[in-house]
Amino acid sequence: MDSQIKKIHQQLVSKQITCTALVQEKLDLLKQNTYNTVNSLLDTLALDLASKVDAKIANGETIGLLEGIPFGIKDVYMLQGTYTTASSDFLKNYKSPYTATAIQKLLDAGAIPLVKENCDSFGHGSSSENTIFGAVKNAVDPTLVAGGSSGGSAVNVAKEYTVFSIGGDTGGSIRQPAGYNHIYGLKPTYGRISRYGLMAYASSTDCVGPLAKSIEDIRIVLNVMSGKDPKDQTSVASMEINEDAIATSAVKTVGYFKNFIESDAIDAQIKADFLATIEKLKAKGIAVKELDFFKSDILVSTYYTLAMAETASNLSRLDGTNYGNRIEGENLIDTYAVTRSENFSEETKRRIVGGNQVLSQGFSDEIYLKGLALRDQISENFSKDFKEVDVILSPVTPSTPPKIGDSLKDPLAMYLSDAYTVGFSLGQLPTLTVPQGTSTGLQITAAKNNDELVLKFANFLKDTI
C-alpha cells in the first residue's frame, strides 16, 4: 500500500476533504469499534486542531506533510492534560502533567492525536489481554489475540481507525502485534528516538516506534520523531532518511539464524514459508548465509532476567504516595503493600517479584550479573554477524496468534512467543516487521544505527515476495 499520509495530504490540499470531516470520521469509527482498542478518545483536542488546519487551508496557507494527519498513541505516553493509564488500575485516573518528546514532535509537525490506545498494562504482556479495558481483538480474526503489548495501536492501524500509531517496543512489543495484524512496525535503533515521557518498563531496551500500513509512512514518522534530546541522555543524533535513499536496495548478503528455523517450537507452515522466501532471495542473486546464534531459551531467559530487574526498579516509585490510586492501610507500610497488591495486575506483580529476586542480596551476582554478561556476548555475536552479512532475516514469531484467553493460562508460553524478537532488543538493533513471507510476517534487522538499510531492504522485499 502506498503512503496514506501523502494521499491524505493531497486530499486536504486539493480540498477534496476537510480535516474536520476526516477526524470526525475516524473518531466515529473508534467509538463504534468492537476490538477494545480505545482507552480514551481525544475528541475535543482533535477537533480543535482539525479546525485550525482547515482554517489554514481556507486562507491559502501551506501545510506540512503531517498537518491534519490523525494518529493514535499507546497509553504509556504522556500527553499533557490527558489520561495516561498504562491500561492499569493503578493509574486509571492519572493525567499527564507534560508531553513526551516524541509526541510533542508530532504535534509540532501538525499531526492530530485521536486516541490513547489499549495495551498490556505497563507493557507487561505479549497478547494485549493484561489490561483493565478488555482484551484487544485481532484485526484479522477477532477470536485471536492482537499481540502485545502495543496491540491496540496495531489493530487501529490495521482497521484504518488511525493513519499511523505510536507504540513502544521493549522485547518485541511493536513487532509482534504488527506481525499478528499484518502491518509494518519498526523498533528503531535504541536511542534514535527520545524515551522522555514514555513510562519506563525496561529502560535499557525500551524504544519508541511507529506502526503503519506502508514503509513510506514509517519513514516519514521516524524522521519526525528522531533526534538527540537533552531530556534523555541515552538519545542519539541521527541523519534523516530520504525517500530516494531507500528506493533501491544495496543488500548483497542476507543471513538467518538456523537454530530459529530448526527449532522444534516453530510452526511447520511458518518454517516452510520462511524457507520459500529464502529461495526467492537466492533466485534474485542474493547470497544467503546460515548463522549460529544463542538458543531461543537463552535469549528469552536473559531478556526476562534483565527486563524484570529493570521493571522492579522502575515501578518501585508507584506506591500511592506521589502517583496513582492510593488505598489506605492500617499504617504506612501496610498502605504501600495494599496499594501495590490491589492495583498491579497479576502479570505485573509476577515481573516485580521476579525482578526483586534477581536483584536481591545473594542472587544478584549469580543471576543479574550473569544476565548482563550474556547481553554483552549477544551484542558481540551480532557485531561478528554484520561483518559477514548486510541484514538478518527472521520470522517474527515461532507460532501463529493464540486464541484469546489461552496466553493467560500459560505465562511461560507467552514469554516464549517473544523468542525471535528479544535477541534484537538486547542488541539494541533496528528491526522492522514486514507483513510478508509468513502468516505473522518477517523481521529485517541491520547493524546498530543502520535503520536506513532496514527500510531499503523492506522496499526490495515488497517487490520480490
Candidate list 173, 194, 394, 417, residue with the active-site label: 173
Q: Which of 74, 137, 448, 456 is catalytic?
A: 74
How many residues make up the chain in this entry?
465
Cell numbers that stand for 354 in this block = 521476579
Contact 444, 454 (CB under 8 A): yes
The active-site residue, picked from 149, 194, 235, 417, is: 149
Here the cell at position 49 is: 486542531
The yes-or-no answer on residue 87 being catalytic is no
Which amino acid type is present at position 293?
A: F
Cα 126 off chain centre by: 11
Question: Is the separation of the CB atoms in 173 and 118 below 8 Å?
Answer: no
Instruction: Give the integer Cα–Cα distance in Å for 163 and 108.
Output: 17
Q: What is residue 344's three-state secondary structure?
A: coil
Residue with cell 484504518: 160
Q: What span, in angstroms and rounded, lies between the C-alpha atoms of 311 and 178?
A: 24
Cell of 228: 538527540
Question: Nearest Cα to 111, choosing from 166, 49, 186?
Answer: 49
What is the rounded distance in angstroms from the CA atom of residue 3 to the CA atom of residue 212? 9
| Catalytic status, residue 74 | yes
Q: What H or E segment, with its residue span, contains residue 216? A: helix 215-225
Helix (H) or strand (E) segment spanning residue 459: helix 451-464
d(CA 31, CA 25): 10
What's the grid cell of residue 464?
520480490
Q: How far apart are CA 101 and CA 111, in angstroms?
A: 14
CA dihedral (174, 424, 267, 122) positive or negative: negative
Closest CA to 293 of 206, 383, 184: 383
3-class DSSP state of 343:
helix
SS3 24: helix
Side chain identity at residue 318, one-letter code: L
What residues are labeled active site? 74, 149, 173
